[in-house]
Structure 1
Amino acid sequence: MNTQTTPSPQFYLTAPATCPYLPGQMERKVFTHLVGPRAAEMNDLLTQGGFRRSQNIAYRPACETCRACISVRILADEFQAGRTMRRVLAANADVVSTLLPAQPSTEQFSLFRRYLDDRHQRGGMSDMSALDYAIMVEDTHVNTRIIEYRKREPGTGIGERKGELLAVALTDTMSDGLSMVYSFFNTRLARRSLGTFMILDHISRTQALGLPHVYLGYWVKGSSKMGYKTRFQPQEHLTPRGWERFDPATDI
C-alpha cells in the first residue's frame, strides 16, 4: 500500500466488517495516511470533516445502509460544569494530570491491559500486545501527547511522576482544540467517574489554550456505549449541512 507523501491525500475503502456498536449492521471505513510534513494540517482538516485518527491513519465511517455514527465536539468556550460534573471534579481533587511526550511506558500498558480485560474483552483491541500499544502511542506524524492522571502523593513536586496511575489519555492538539484519540482508566474506581473526569480536564485545558473545541469522536445513536458523550453540553454534531448545535431535548 502506498504511503508516500503526495500533493493530495489518497483515500481507500475497507471491506465490510461486523459493526462493533449496533447488532445486525455491517461497517465500512474510508481512510487515508497521515504522513509527511503536511500531516498535522491534514489531521486538522480531516478531523473537522468528521475523520478520526488511529496511529498514522485518518478514517471515518462509510457504511452503505447506516448513518448512526455522528462526529461530536464540545463547545469548550461555552461549557460550564453542572452539579453532577462538579461532584466528579470534587471526587478527583486529589488527582494530578501531567502532559507528557507521546512515549509509552510499562506502567501505562499494564493499566491499558486491565482496562481492555475489564471493558473490551471481545473488542478489536482485546489482543493488543505491549508492542501494539507502543505503536498506537508513537506512530504519529501530528502533535500528539500523553496525559497521565495520578493520585497525588504528599511532597510530590511539579512534573514528578509519582503516585498511583489512575488514567491515561492520548490526545492531539489541533488549531481549533483538542482531540481525544484514546483514553483508558482504572475501571474499579467507579466512584471517581474517571472517564468523565478526563473529558472535564480536556475541556479545562482547551479553555486555557483559548481554543473552542474538544473532539470526542463518534456518538452512535442507539449504542449504550456511546451515550455518555451527549452529557457534555453545549456541543455540535456534524450533519450533512455541516456542524450544528445539538439539542438533547429534541433528540428522539
Structure 2
Amino acid sequence: MTAPVRFPRFFVTNPSPCPYLPGKSERKVFTELNGPHTEELNDALGRIGFRRSQNVAYRPSCLDCKACVSVRVLADEFRPSSTQRKLIRRNQDLVVEACEPWATDEQYQLLQKYLAKRHPGGGMAEMDEMDYSDMVEQSPVKSFVIEYREPTQDGSKGRLVGACLTDQQGDGLSMIYSFFDAEHGERAGLGNYIIMDHIMRARKAGLPYVYLGYWVDGSPQMEYKVRYRPIERLGPDGWSRFDPTALLKLQ
C-alpha cells in the first residue's frame, strides 16, 4: 500500500556566521514544501518551530547555541499596554488591506528604503526585484501581503507606509516578513502597530495565535518580539507561557 502522506526529507545547511550574535555560527535544518498536503505539513511544522521561506520550511539547528526561540502571542488574551494603546490610536486611520501575494514595485521600493535604514549590509540588502517577487509569490500555502496605506480625501489609494507577508495557518497568523517606512516622522512605531494589527486580525478571525518567528535571546534588535503579552515560547516540552521581563532581569 502507498502511504497517504509522504514523510518529508530534511536537510542541514553548512555553518555560517550568525547575523544576530557576534562570534556565533548558525546552521539550519530544512525541508521542501510541496505536494497535495503542503498546507497540513506547513501547519504541523509551524507548531514545532519551523518558519516558511518561499517553498522551504526551516528552523535553527545550531551546534553550540540555543538562543533562537520560537515565540507566539495569544491573540484572544492580548491586552495592549497604555503605550501600545496610544500607538493604535495614532495609526487607526491607516487603510489596511489583505492583498493577494503579488509583488509590486511600490512594495519593493518601500522594502529597499526599510532595509537601507534598519538593516544596511544585511543578508537581504542585495535583494533585487526578482528576488522580492520570488519571496512574495512563491508561496505553496495561503498567504497575503497586508498593506498599510495613509488615508486620502478622495478615497484613492494613499501612500504605502507598511506591508507584511503573512501566512494563514490552521491555528493562527504567521508573520513571514514585515517592512515599513522607518523614517516617517509622524508615525513612529509602525512596526509595532503592524504586529498589533495582526493580533487583532487573528482574534477577529477566531485564530488563537500570532507567530512572530524567532526571538534571539541576547540580541537587542529582537527584543521587540516579546513586548506582547501573554506570549509563549517553544521549549523541549512544547509551548509554554513565559515572562521575558523576568528572564532578562536574571541575565
| TM-score (norm. length: structure 1) | 0.94
The answer to whether the 8 Å contact 2:182/2:188 transfers is no
The answer to whether the 8 Å contact 1:92/1:192 transfers is no
* 2:233 aligned with 1:233: no
Q: Choose the corresponding residue for 1:183, options 159, 163, 178.
A: 178
The match for 1:3 is: none
Higher alpha-carbon deviation: 225-234 or 87-96 = 87-96
Measure the CA separation in 2 of the matches of 1:192 and 1:96.
17
The answer to whether the 8 Å contact 2:32/2:57 transfers is yes
* Equivalent runs, 1:72-221 vs 2, <5 Å: 72-156=71-155, 162-189=157-184, 191-221=187-217
**3-state SS of paired residue (1:172):** strand
Give 1:82 deviation, angstroms: 1.2
Give 1:249 deviation, angstroms: 4.2
Q: Provide the aligned length of Structure 1 versus Structure 2.
A: 244
Higher alpha-carbon deviation: 87-96 or 210-219 = 87-96
Measure the CA separation in 2 of the matches of 1:45 and 1:93.
34
Give 1:155 deviation, angstroms: 3.0
> Structure 1 counterpart of 2:181, which letter?
N
Alpha-carbon RMSD across the aligned residues, in angstroms, is 1.3
**3-state SS of paired residue (1:35):** coil
Cα 1:93–1:124 change in 2 (3 A) is same
* Ranges in structure 2 where 5+ consecutive residues have no aligned partner: none
The answer to whether the 8 Å contact 1:108/1:168 transfers is yes
Q: How big is each residue's C-alpha offset from its partner over 1:145-201, in whole Å with a ceiling of 9 and x where there is no partner?
A: 110000011231xxx6x0010000000001101000000000102543110000010
Give 1:205 deviation, angstroms: 0.4
The answer to whether the 8 Å contact 1:32/1:58 transfers is yes
**3-state SS of paired residue (1:192):** coil
* 2:205 aligned with 1:224: no
Measure the CA separation in 1 of the matches of 2:88 and 2:243.
25
> Structure 1 counterpart of 2:189, which letter?
S
* Ranges in structure 1 where 5+ consecutive residues have no aligned partner: 1-5
Measure the CA separation in 2 of the matches of 1:208 and 1:37.
29
Q: How big is each residue's C-alpha offset from its partner over 1:106-155, in whole Å with a ceiling of 9 and x where there is no partner?
A: 10011011111111122111100000000000011000111000001123
The answer to whether the 8 Å contact 2:144/2:165 transfers is yes
**3-state SS of paired residue (1:71):** strand
| TM-score (norm. length: structure 2) | 0.95
The answer to whether the 8 Å contact 1:36/1:141 transfers is no
Q: How big is each residue's C-alpha offset from its partner over 1:35-65, in whole Å with a ceiling of 9 and x where there is no partner?
A: 1221111111101100011111100000000
Q: How big is each residue's C-alpha offset from its partner over 1:67-99, in whole Å with a ceiling of 9 and x where there is no partner?
A: 000000000010011100011111112211100
The answer to whether the 8 Å contact 1:145/1:171 transfers is yes
> Structure 1 counterpart of 2:227, which letter?
R
Identical-residue share of aligned pairs (%): 50
Measure the CA separation in 2 of the matches of 1:107 and 1:185.
12
**3-state SS of paired residue (2:149):** strand
The answer to whether the 8 Å contact 2:74/2:232 transfers is yes
> Structure 2 counterpart of 1:217, which letter?
G
